[in-house]
Amino acid sequence: MTPILFPDSRARAMLNIFARASICRFVDPVGSRLLRAGIGPDAVTLTGAIGTVASALWFFPRGQLVLGTVAVTVFVVFDLLDGAVARARGAGTPWGTVLDATCDRIADGALFAGLTWWCFVVAGDRRLAVAALFCLVSAQVISYIKARAAASGLSVDGGMAERAERYIITLVGAGLTGLGVPFALDVALWLLAGLQLVTVTQRMLAVRRSARDREGG
């Protein structure tokens, strides 16, 4: 039976497959060159995470939204390259998987922490800061649900606001605000807050269905 909250799950899966294949055609050659240069996937992961954290916590609290958006976007690309380097090496490792997931969570937290500081201190907008804080917490919860479910042998994936969507919506809003577009970040953060709330609900329902299926089997 098709879940009510996942009417587009198959379409999203197909789109993700085609998008991933298209992206891999561009990043895999770069990954091969990095590996030949002696740069492993763990180094790429750490570089991307450190760069994202430093950019988000340096530029956004100083009110430099455009520079912050550009810098974070550049380092987020490393999130694609570490997988390309791992594929060039033949396969990833359990350590690399844990390192990548950990760095992703740290980078996500830094992004929303930097924007929360901007909302509180630079813009003086407490209500928008609440939205940024909600996005920070719910982003961690979304990832935790998946990790905890996997550790329990349950399957869960998908949702309206996965990591790629979170970054696109947030960075577009921040960049446009930095360019002088009014309320761009307001729309982005409140929209994302709503989407992430829906995603938490979607994933919890998916976990519940998976648990029932396993118990029934």
Catalytic position from the list 42, 104, 108, 125? 104
Can you give the three-state secondary structure of 157-203, one letter per residue?
CCCCCCHHHHHHHHHHHHHHHHCCCCCHHHHHHHHHHHHHHHHHHHH
Residues present in the chain in total: 217
Nearest Cα neighbor of 182 from 128, 117, 121 is 128
Sign of CA dihedral 195, 196, 199, 204: negative
- Which pair of tokens denotes residue 8? 């587009």
**Residue 213 catalytic?**
no
| Contact between residue 45 and residue 82 where contact means Cβ atoms under 8 Å apart | yes
Q: How far apart are CA 176 and CA 179, in angstroms?
A: 5
| Contact between residue 143 and residue 101 where contact means Cβ atoms under 8 Å apart | yes
Catalytic residues: 104
